[in-house]
A and B are shown apart, each in its own frame.
Chain A
Amino acid sequence: MKPGESAIISGFTDFELSVKLMEMGCLPGASIRFNFSAPLGDPVCISVAGYELSLRMEEAKTISILN
């Protein structure tokens, strides 16, 4: 995803992580927006469920999206 882009979550590739992510509001069907990344590209900041969440790339990659 590119900075400023939004997408809808369709699913997850890591079960354990998915549970944590969902608790934090990253639900299937929810809209997320990619805000910016740290200077080294990792971690990234997204907007979800009305607030800003930072994720490591390895965590973010487990979120499947459809545009």
Chain B
Amino acid sequence: MRKMKCDQVKELLYRFIDGRTTAQDNTFIQEHLELCLECAREYQIERQVTEKLANGSLWEEAPNGLYETVRARLRTEKVGSRLFRILPAFFRLPALAAVTALLLLALGVTIYRTNGGMTTEGLIAHVVRDHQNVSAKGAAFLPVPVSTAKMAMEQIAGGRLTVAQSPGGEIEVIGGRFCAIGKKAKTPMIVYRVAGQDVSLHLFPETVRGLKNWEKVSTPVGPGYMVPVGQKGAKALLVERDGALSLLVSELPEDKLIHLASVLVKKV
């Protein structure tokens, strides 16, 4: 009758514990364990280790709110993908970006001249400078054209175009982008116009990570956070308002950023 040696049993021990040995091998292994004290001890120890590994109290639970955060990101994805499908095709063809620009111009939207080499920080500074210039005219913020937003997003890995729906149900795609907060976090930023009113920038607060590491500041319109943007020392200001974080991204000095926040938020 076949008998197993110790080294054969030890080789199969884990699979025996896992229930992955054949019925025949099970018989030989069990016979051996009844006769060999050393292998029997090994079996007991390995069984104990297996049970401890499976002990749920050793391991971490998902942090509170993680599932809700994931669902919030999925909702953003669902809105974006559904509406993107129904957008006119010319929004999606890079070759027709010029047509897009002309149409936006006809709607009274400022077109930003950009070239392929414009950095994220340069684009942001461009937008903010224009905002300063037009704020006196009553516009809170000027939208980023679709083509420009797309170019900015291509410079940031993982960026995508998103849309938003106003409380009144009207939707207009202006642009969207990911802005790198810090080095690796990617936060969707939506820029949209609501039925001819001033545009708004919003972050979904549940997508903002690293919040606790940011410097808190006081602004005329509420608490805010100063965060580094990109890798060249630019800073962004986020202001809390109605449960959302309104984002300003700029290379301006801190005191001018805070002033800009007060101008922007009042207009929105």
Q: Does B associate with A?
A: no
Q: Which residues of B contact A (CB under 8 A)?
A: none
